[in-house]
Every structure is written in C-alpha cells, then in structure tokens.
C-alpha cells in the first residue's frame, strides 16, 4: 500500500509539472490573443472598482450612473496620460538635438576615464549604428501596439456589456447554492486582491513621483513633470520600475547642466525616496493587503516578462494573486499556494481565513438555487 501511495504521489506531481509546462507553452503561443484580453480584464476590474467607490463612498450617488461615470473617468485619465506623454515627448526629442554638443563632451569624458584616446563623436556613433535598419522593426512595433490597443478596447467593451449576464452564468455553472457561495467567494478574493494591488501601487507610485518631481524641480531639471509621470507609470512594474526612476533623471541632468552636483543630488535624493517608500511605506501597505512572497514577485516578474513582454511585467503581480487564490481552493494544489504566500496562509489576501468571507459581493445577493 505504501508503495502504491508513493507511485500515485509521484505520478500526480509529474502530471502537475507537465501541466504547468504545457500551460506556459500555450500562454506563450497565444500571447497575441491573451495579452489584450488580460489587459482588458485588468482595466475592467479597475473600472468596476471605480464604480463601487462611487456608490459606497459618495453619499446619494445613483447606482445606475456609477458604471458610466467610472468609464468616463477612466477615459479621461488614460486620455490625459496619453496627452502628457505625447506633448512632453515632442519637446524632449527637440531638446536632445540641442544637447548634441553636451553629449559629445560626455562621450569624451567617459572615454578619458576608460583610457580611449580617440573617442567617436555622436555623429560617428549614429552613422555606425545605422538606425535606418531598425525603422522597419520600429514601424512594426508601433503597428502592433496600435492593433493591441484596439483589441484591448474591443475586449473591454464586450466585458462591460456582458456584466449583466454574469449572475446567470454563475447559476448555470454552479447549480447549488453552496457551490455558488464558494464561486462568489473565490471571484471576490481575486477581484479584491487585484484592487488592493492597484491601490498600493497607485499610492506608493504617487509618493515616489511627487517626491521625485519636487527634487527635480528644485535643481531645475527640464521636463520634470514628464519624468515624474514616467516614474509613476514605471512604479507599476515591480523592481525594474524603481531602477528607471533612480537612473534616468540623473543621466539627463549630466546632459543639461555644466556641473555635476545636480546629477549627484538627483541620484542621492531619488535613491532615498525609493528606499523610504519601498522599505517603509510599501511593506506596511502590502502587509495589510497583499500576501505574496517577495521572491515570488521577482520570479513572477521574470516569468511573465519573458512570456508577454512589458504587458506581462505590468500584470505579473495581479496574475500571481489570482493564481494563489485559485490554487488555495484545491487540496492537491494548496501547498503551491502556501509557497506563493508571504505568511503561509493563502486563504484570503491578508492571510486570515476569515477575510475570505468579507467580499463586497456577498453570496446572499446571488439568485436562489433551483429546486429541480
């Protein structure tokens, strides 16, 4: 009997490993289809969160107007973000042309430090790289980005339109009342975990962007608003986003200013802002909301970044939250959920099993089970 149990356990573990590998391969092969869908679901969760905030925290706000207002707010936010990037990127590119002599000086200084006697100029580097050969690739990437944006909007529209039939689908998939209660609880945990992640990253990103803008404006760095906005967007990418916020502004301060103290000040202060927010504020907020091991966050970033690129980096933590909640519902995969969690208790985003009961969509709101 013991040998049979060992064989069954080994077989089950082998099947799980093979299923994970096959699932990863399918997700990679279908990335052009699944990535826009995942982004649309992410945006739909965010819009749904906006709508519930309006109904729960704005006294007397009509329920029917919550979703349209949330959609309108999201469009304004995304449209404003696109305008800020487009408007500042144009002036930023024009300033780079004016900074060409300074760039040549930086190349000479760097070559002197490295012991290179005849450093190439910026024009020589430009000709040697021959950027015309990359124009086709850049044009293709821009075309893919535009088509992906269209697919995301199409998926988002259908997801919002299909919200009314969600309860009927729940009844069809889970005939009994107990099954529906479990399904609503799991869906609520996933939604609440993603919304808490958005809340944590938004608040900490605003803190980092605000502090970064203050020091960049204090030293006189041009396009400080543009840099602060990019730092805020990069904060949604774990680990890598922090490096972007620390390194890029000091590098361009070297190009803009004739002295070194502005770049040194930016490097020190931005590093301090990232350190305080990342090691003091963020752990406390995550301790009250998220329940993911930091090593898992790093591995998830590498995994989804390798499969889906930059969109996968943005979605790595929400996807890990969803995977942890789903894995915790089955005895065979609960151990994996425990490994993904930070405190060894993956039931509920805060690690407290009781928190699983406190979702904002209680089971009592679901239709009653059929008597047939």
Q: In the predicted model, what is the mean pLDDT of residues 143-153?
A: 68
One domain, residues 204 and 117: no
Q: Does a structural domain hold residue 370?
A: no
Per this entry, what is the length of the chain?
372
How far apart CA 239 and CA 283 sit, in angstroms, is: 14
Report how many helices (DSSP H) and strands (DSSP E) the chain contains, helices first: 15, 0
Whether 336 and 197 map to the same domain: the answer is yes
Structural domain including 5 reads 1-98+132-164
User: Tens of pLDDT along 231-283?
Assistant: 888 888 877 777 777 888 888 888 788 788 888 999 999 988 888 887 777 77
Tell me, yes or no, whether 206 lies in a domain.
yes
Query: Given pLDDT bands bounded at 50, 70 and 90, which one contains residue 354?
Result: very low
Per-chain mean pLDDT for the chain: 75
Encode pLDDT of 281-334 as tens digits.
777 776 555 677 778 888 888 888 888 887 888 888 888 888 888 888 777 778
Closest C-alpha among 94, 105, 108, 97 to residue 258: 105
For residue 45, being part of any structural domain is answered with yes
341 domain residue, yes or no: yes
Cα separation of 150 and 36, whole Å?
A: 9
Q: How many CB atoms lie within 10 A of CB 280?
A: 9
269 and 350 co-located in one domain:
yes
pLDDT of residue 214: 92
Give the C-alpha separation, 91 to 117, whole Å.
34
Q: Compare 42 and 126 and report the one with higher pLDDT.
A: 42
210 and 309 part of one domain = yes
Same-domain status, 260 and 288:
yes
Is the per-residue pLDDT at 143 higher than 70? no
**pLDDT the model gives residue 370:** 40
187, 231: one domain? yes
Q: What is the pTM of this model?
A: 0.69
Per the model's pLDDT, the better-predicted residue between 9 and 122 turns out to be: 9
On whether the CB atoms of residues 333 and 139 are closer than 8 A, the answer is: no
pLDDT at 8 over 70: yes
Domain contains 327:
yes
Residues 114 and 89 in one domain: no
306 and 198: one domain? yes
Cα–Cα distance measured from residue 321 to residue 189, given in angstroms and rounded to the nearest whole number: 9
Query: Which of the 8 DSSP states describes residue 62?
Result: -
CA distances from 224 to 102, 216, 245, 265 (A): 19, 6, 12, 15
Q: What are phi and psi of 292, to 5 degrees?
A: -120, 135
Number of compact structural domains in the chain? 3
């Amino acid at each position: 009997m013991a040998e049979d149990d060992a064989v069954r356990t080994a077989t089950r573990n082998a099947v799980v490993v093979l299923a994970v590998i096959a699932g990863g391969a399918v997700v990679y092969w279908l990335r052009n289809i699944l990535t826009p869908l995942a982004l649309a679901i992410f945006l739909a969760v965010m819009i749904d969160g906006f709508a519930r905030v309006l109904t729960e925290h704005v006294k007397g706000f009509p329920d029917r107007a919550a979703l349209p207002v949330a959609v309108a707010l999201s469009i304004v936010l995304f449209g404003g973000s696109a305008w800020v990037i487009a408007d500042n990127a144009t002036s930023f590119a024009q300033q780079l042309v004016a900074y060409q002599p300074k760039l040549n000086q930086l190349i000479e200084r760097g070559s002197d430090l490295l012991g290179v006697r005849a450093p190439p100029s910026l024009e020589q580097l430009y000709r040697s790289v021959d950027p015309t050969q990359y124009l086709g690739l850049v044009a293709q990437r821009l075309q893919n980005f535009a088509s992906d944006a269209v697919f995301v909007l199409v998926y988002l529209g259908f997801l919002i339109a299909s919200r009314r039939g969600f309860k009927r689908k729940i009844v069809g998939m889970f005939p009994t009342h107990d099954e529906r209660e479990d399904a609503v609880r799991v869906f609520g945990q996933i939604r609440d975990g993603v919304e808490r992640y958005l809340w944590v990253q938004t608040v900490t990103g605003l803190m980092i962007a605000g502090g970064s803008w203050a020091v960049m404006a204090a030293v006189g760095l041009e396009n400080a608003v543009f840099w602060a906005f990019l730092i805020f967007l990069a904060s949604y990418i774990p680990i890598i986003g922090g490096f972007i916020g620390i390194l890029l502004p000091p590098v361009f301060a070297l190009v803009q200013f004739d002295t070194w103290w502005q770049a040194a000040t930016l490097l020190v202060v931005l590093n301090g802002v990232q350190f305080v927010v990342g090691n003091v504020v963020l752990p406390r907020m995550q301790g009250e909301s998220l329940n993911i091991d930091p090593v898992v966050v790093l591995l998830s970033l590498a995994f989804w970044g390798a499969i889906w690129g930059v969109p996968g980096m943005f979605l790595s933590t929400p996807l890990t939250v969803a995977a942890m909640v789903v894995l915790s519902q089955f005895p065979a995969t609960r151990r994996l959920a425990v490994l993904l969690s930070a405190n060894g208790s993956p039931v509920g985003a805060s690690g407290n099993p009781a928190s699983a009961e406190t979702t904002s969509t209680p089971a009592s709101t679901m239709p009653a089970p059929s008597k047939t």
